[in-house]
A and B are shown apart, each in its own frame.
Chain A
Amino acid sequence: MKTLRTLVAFIKRDFLIEVSYRTSFLLQAFGIVFSVLIWYFVSRVVNAPPTTPGLEGVDYFAYVLLGLALLHYLSSALMSFGGKVRGEQMTGTLEAMLLTPTPIGTIVLGSSLWEFLLTSIKVIAYLVVGRLFFGVVIHLDSLLPALLIIALTVLAFSGIGILSAAFVLYLKRGDPITYLVASGSALVGGVFYPPEDMPRWLGGWSHLLPITYALRALRRALLRGSRFSELLPDIEVLVLFVAVLLPIGILAFRFAVRKARQEGSLVQY
């Protein structure tokens, strides 16, 4: 309960900072509309039939809309943990927070929450704009499984994000893993096109990335209204990713904190 109250304080802090940049809020809303428009016109040029392998029987615009939405979650998870730690190190506020009894894990999690909240708002905006203005059919009866898939996806991505924060704490620089996962996911994870359409030697890498399973399951749930049993195989793989990546991230983070305290470099950047 106390931790929850502290996390709410972080959200309030970041909300106040966000609204202090008045135009930024407005520009982000415009950005979503522009992004949807761009991909709408791209999809008209691409004009891929729903029978294309990997499109799961859905229209290409709907396919890419879901891809973009989940890519935002991936970016948030990968960038926000490490990015926030580095940002707070550089502004000098990390030391002030570490002087309080709040555990460092709560500080890192709390600092990232606003980013996730903002991303969730963006994702909802993407879907609402897609549905209202471009006729994308969203199966709201599959909302619960979709939320479960998103939660598992965020947790799996967060494992990598926390690993990235560990790198930042110890090495003071962004890590190569974040870059590889972010680029790899965009390239072969099925965000903009199905990995099945890629050469086997390249598309095969998609099996190693959580976003592949997350996107497939989410598209099936929200765009096709698939039954839970059809989603289960991908959900199981996501659970496996969470079970592996989250403990690795947390262990690496603990190790980094201890090493940084030993070296006296916790607040250096």
Chain B
Amino acid sequence: MSVAILAENLTKVYVKRRSLREVALRPFRRAEPVTALSGLSLETRTGEIFGLLGPNGAGKTTFLKILTGLVLPTSGRALVIGVDVAQDDRAVKRSIGFVTSDERSFYWRLSGRENLDFFARLYGLDAASARRVSADLLREMDMESVADRSFMSYSTGMKQRLAIARALLHDPPVLCLDEPTRSLDPIAAKHLRRFVVDRLNRQRGKTVLLATHNLPEAEEMCSRLVVLDRGRIVRQGSVAAITAGLPGRDHYVLSVRGLEAPPSDPRWRLEVERQDDGIARLAAEVERDGRAFSDLLRAILDSRGTIVSCARREPSLQEVFDLMEPDPGGRIG
């Protein structure tokens, strides 16, 4: 499988512009640099949905803006379908469709169709092709009946669907979605996720780069992802691979019959829920030292309990976030 997006040691340092007051008070003091991305390297394969996960200010948007040529990297390089963004951003823009959750990026007094027609022309389509492609996309997005209504009358869900339609006008192989479901209700968000996965990724083979801080969304959609924090990759791989290597404790769910008293030990913490059929459900958080889990099982058996079932629970990405150190401040998105 070929590489769709490649980032090599990408660094972006912003220099905070000083206010007139600061310049007047400390004229010789240098402006304070803020690192938004620090040596970021990643590779997305053609046809996959790749997640950029991280809290606000982790560097997700900066990375997407570098990919789309809106921001120049301080060092390192980014390639989209083999083209260096810093060398030929216009060629890269032909390969990328960008979807933001910003409703303001359309002309509110124009209709959805007029908006699409205009942006299609900016992607280099002639008038006839622009009209045809816009009509096709409006149909695909199930927006034909509202195509000639002004954009300002659209619901948030319609606006977001139109944003996706706009990103597809030039039929790019790569789609960048920057928190696409941020302002959608749960049903609209679910539909949009299904549309991206089923229609765009599976049917049309688009490579999707999804920036989100929505953990279930990343888990549902992405085959691989990176977790960013303060401009650095702190985890990468599949969701399972990311959560597997976490330091700290493992989580298990056990069903035990005949357990009189739950065994106690500083290496584990148990939450016990007794059920009517005499089976106790144990949620166990066990220290990852290689022996603690075996000792817990032995302790249960020694106390005449019968283990009916035992399953390891994969930690959620929320727990990945929880394990990150708190940020002292000064983040840039």
Contacts and interface: CB of A to CB of B under 8 A. Distances in A.
Nearest to B65: A264
B93 A93 contact: no
Interface in A8-23: 9, 12-13, 16-17, 20-21
B98 interface: yes
Contact of B122 (A16, A95, A102, A266): A102
B3 interface: no
Contacts of A263: 14-15, 17
Given A261-B70, A261-B71, A263-B14, A96 B93 contact: no
Interface string B97-116: 01010101111111000100
A240 interface: no
B121 interface: yes
B90 A99 contact: no
Q: Please report whether the interface of chain B is mostly helix, strand, loop or mixed according to DSSP.
A: mixed
A98 interface: yes
A97 interface: yes
A2 interface: yes
A226 B75 CA distance: 61
A267 interface: yes
Given A5-B121, A101-B94, A264 B109 contact: no
B118 interface: yes
A99 B70 contact: yes
Interface residues of A, number: 30
Contact of B109 (A6, A17, A99): A17
Given A13-B110, A100-B123, A266-B71, 10 more contacts: A12-B118, A13-B107, A17-B109, A17-B110, A96-B119, A97-B122, A100-B122, A263-B15, A264-B65, A264-B70
Interface residues of B, number: 39
A51 interface: no
B166 interface: yes
A261 B65 CA distance: 10
A109 B104 CA distance: 22
Given A16-B114, A93-B105, A266 B70 contact: yes
Nearest to A7: B121
A91 B98 CA distance: 18
A263 B124 CA distance: 28
Contacts of B102: 92, 95
Contacts of A229: none
Contacts of A97: 119, 122
Which of A5, A9, A91 has the largest count of B CB atoms less than 10 A from its CB? Answer: A9
A5 B122 contact: no
B181 interface: no
B134 interface: no
B179 to A, nearest CB: 15
Interface in B6-33: 12, 14-15, 17
B98 A261 contact: no
Contacts of B100: 95
Interface string B30-62: 000000100000000000000000000000001
B182 to A, nearest CB: 15
Nearest to A1: B126
A100 B12 CA distance: 23
Nearest to A95: B105
B109 A20 contact: yes
A96 B17 contact: no
Interface of B: 12, 14-15, 17, 36, 62, 65, 68-72, 90-91, 93-94, 96, 98, 100, 102, 104-110, 114, 117-119, 121-124, 126-127, 150, 166
B166 A264 contact: no
A13 B124 contact: no
B14 A101 contact: no
A102 B69 CA distance: 12
Contact of A264 (B62, B91, B106): B62
A103 interface: yes
A261 B123 CA distance: 21
A161 to B, nearest CB: 22
A74 B72 CA distance: 35
A9 to B, nearest CB: 4
A218 B29 CA distance: 53
Nearest to A259: B72
B68 A99 contact: yes
A95 B109 contact: no
A99 B93 contact: yes
A205 to B, nearest CB: 29
Contact of A9 (B90, B94, B122): B122
Given A17-B110, A92-B102, A93-B105, A5 B71 contact: no
Contacts of B106: 93, 96
Contacts of A95: 70, 100, 102, 105
The 9 closest A-B pairs by CB, nearest first: A92-B104, A9-B121, A100-B122, A96-B105, A264-B71, A101-B90, A20-B109, A101-B93, A102-B122
Nearest to B36: A264
B127 A16 contact: no
Contacts of B65: 264
A267 B118 contact: no
Contacts of B123: 100-102
Given A9-B118, A95-B70, A262-B72, A103 B104 contact: no
Contacts of B117: 9
A261 B96 CA distance: 18
Contacts of A258: 72
Which of A6, A96, A267 has the largest count of B CB atoms less than 10 A from its CB? Answer: A96
